[in-house]
Amino acid sequence: MKRLNSKSMSSITHFFIYALTLLLVWEWLRPIPVITNTGEIELFVWFTFASALLIYLRLPVYVTAPVLLAGSIYGLHLIFFEGSFLSREGGMETVRALSAEIGANVSLIINGNFAELTDLFRSFLLFMLLALICYLLYYWVLYKGKVFLFLLSTVVYITILDTFTPVDASQAIIRIIIIGFFMLTLLQMLKVQDEERAIGRRKKAFFSPAWMYTLIVIIGISVAAGLLAPKPEPQWADPVPAMRVLVGAEGSGGGSGVSRVGYGENDERLGGGFVQDEGTAFRAEADRDSYWRGESKEEYTGQGWVSEPVYVESELIYEDAVDFPLYRDEADLEQSEVSIEMAEEADFGLLFYPGQLRDVSDVEAEAGGNSLEENDLQFYTDVEAGRVQGEARNGGDVRFSSYDIEYDDASFNLESLRSSSEEDPEEIAERYTQLPDDLPERVGELAADITEEYDNRYEKAEAVEAYFSDNDFEYRTDNVPVPDEGEDYVDQFLFETQAGYCDNYSTSMAVMLRTLDIPTRWVKGFTSGEEIEELENGNTVYEVTNGNAHSWVEVYFPETGWVPFEPTQGFTNYAEFEEETPDVDTDQNESTNEAEDPNIPEPDGSTDNMLEEGTDTEEGAGGASGEDFTLFTMKNVLISLPLLIFIMLAYQKQNVFQNKFFLYRYRMLGSDASFTTAYKRLLWILANEGLPRASGETLREYAKRVDLALSSRAMTKLTNTYEKIHYGGKEPDGEWEARRKDWEEIVKSLNA
């Protein structure tokens, strides 16, 4: 490595420029895990920074090269091997493996078989490439003073990724522009310094604060204008869906590696991380939140889910003939309607529907690019999975554009569920308690331990559902492992990784309940979506994106039918559950529950008395010495300004301070006797934070709204306990300790 001695590169300005250059390199590395299967990217980032530091210090090549080689080998050991690097079995094993890999992969390169290069050798090449890039940037930026080409390449690279991949570069482009402005300005300042010294006007390097002040102001104004100025919507259609169709990339993989989130068809092999896709799937006009059901799967293989569809021909108007019944006699049904409009880029030939499908009308669809009339369509219902598939009568595949649905939405009585029979129909028990023969026994043992204190199906299902939230499980969409051949998907999640997304949680709950001989099935579709518009008729328009793709669990109750459960952390079950309050007059309870509780404290908002007292004080305190008092002196301003800033900040953060005070107060002094007081204080805190209880809103309705806003279920749990104590006369023995974490979870969410 040639040492660059012709110029002194040790000034703070040079170091700052080089550091900014490395930040641009970081912007190149950040998207790599999204667009490739590369993991442990942080090791490559730290290696890049270490390489840059060694090169900047201009150490001899016989020092720099061995250190970089050792650093790359250490990184390979951390990625691919186990044990201590300094042990004989650690570092030496890595060196031997790398030596063998180099020999084998060099021959592959000579023969042009680049796709067959091993992961170990690819990673080693990436380490070496990063070290080489650090040296080249040092040479071109600091020695040659040229950075524009690298800056332009970075902008082009990021914009291409933003356009054609799931990478979101909206923040990255801002960072790059700011870094680029600083680099170009500082390099120009260095050139001016050289010119000043060349003509003898200055003998030493100088630093111009005026340059930096001007630069900061210009960057601030430019970035603010870019962020705040109105921006037109995209004028061109998204080219990615058309390109994917063109190259035949539309389809679902088996679940390995890193995929793109969305509704897929193949669930045989679950696992692996995914990247977010906020592209719109459809918009729906509805009067309530609900799951959008696609289909269910019945057979768990140990790696994923499969099913054998049993399609029957269905009429366009279902009327009284329901091919796929979800609910039975004890489910309280309410008929409702939704209108669905699919996004242009969405290509679905099946219906997504909430609840029990009753009727489909006003269908707009196309096949082969040609619009279809309703009499050109034929529907087929998979009577085992609930999938409603459309097909053109001439045999072509259908893409739905829009349709209206009538359906039955169910609410479930908790007492009926708790007292439900466990004598299932033979065909239900046989089909929906299936498990692979090689399922590890510890899965069933864990399910038995979780539910041993419960004697009915509902409470067992609820206990398994709550198990994931009450323990150290983590919701994660990246770096989610794929089980090896022979390794069970559920066993790996429950006992090894304890990290994953909806497929991990829902599959694990379904399998654990099946070990208890409880009929269960795995369901997939979409969550409710984001509310984007309130209509005059009382309905809401929901935007459902590919990122709303989801899976959940349905449990069978003989008298009620299939009841949904939501085990995934951070997600809300849209089903309605009703519980009768024992030993309380029904009319009195309802009127009490509907009315505002006078004992619940309201946010302190009345300051009339304080204002009146303040007015009297001002009138009496004015006076004789007022003519000799000068208010706006420099001394008074300098003293008052910090105090004013402190008061403004304290006022702005007053809710945070109040919340922390009550958090620690009830953590230290909370007890069963103070449960009711703590609950009322929580309502007061929520009102202060902009989530007040509406007039006429029941506590249970309010709790559901709070949980939806905070992506939690804690408020519903607290409310159920409060109603049992306050209205049902239940003794609060042990309730505060059982629900303290839920109370603190809500307060912490408000402070986040």
Q: What separation in angstroms does the CA of 57 have from each of 5, 10, 22, 53?
A: 12, 8, 15, 6
DSSP string, 572-597: ----EEE-PPTTS-HHHHHHHHHSPP
Place of tokens 């004598």: 423
Domains and CATH numbers, the chain: 12-228 (no CATH), 280-415 (no CATH), 427-527+549-578 (3.10.620.30), 591-603+654-751 (no CATH)
pLDDT surpasses 80 at 230: no
Mean pLDDT of 710-719: 86
Of the pLDDT bands very low, low, confident and very high (cuts 50, 70, 90), residue 254 is: very low
Q: According to the model, what pLDDT value does residue 205 have?
A: 52
**Spatial contact of 375 and 427, defined as CB atoms under 8 Å apart:** no
- The answer to which of 108-117, 378-387, 702-711 has the lowest mean pLDDT is 108-117
Residues 432-456 have a mean pLDDT of 93
Q: Residue 234: pLDDT above 70?
A: no
As a whole number, the mean pLDDT across the chain is: 79
Q: Is the pLDDT of residue 493 over 50?
A: yes
Which of 713, 702, 721 lies closest to 745, judged by CA?
713
Helix (H, G, I), strand (E, B) or coil at 184: helix
Number of other CB atoms surrounding residue 344 within 10 Å: 11
Largest CA distance in the chain: 100
Interval 133-174: pLDDT, tens: 888 888 887 777 778 888 888 889 888 888 777 777 888 888
Is the CB of residue 300 less than 8 Å from the CB of residue 510? yes
- Check whether 240 has a pLDDT greater than 70: no
Q: 269 near 304, Cβ under 8 Å?
A: yes
Query: What are the backbone dihedrals phi and psi of residue 131, each rounded to the nearest 5 degrees, phi first?
Result: -65, -40
Q: Per-residue pLDDT for 452 more than 50?
A: yes
Report pTM.
0.51
Report pLDDT digits (tens) over 37-65.
677 788 888 888 888 888 888 888 888 88
More reliable by pLDDT, 369 or 331: 331
Supply 275's token pair. 């990247």
CB atoms within 10 A of CB 303: 24
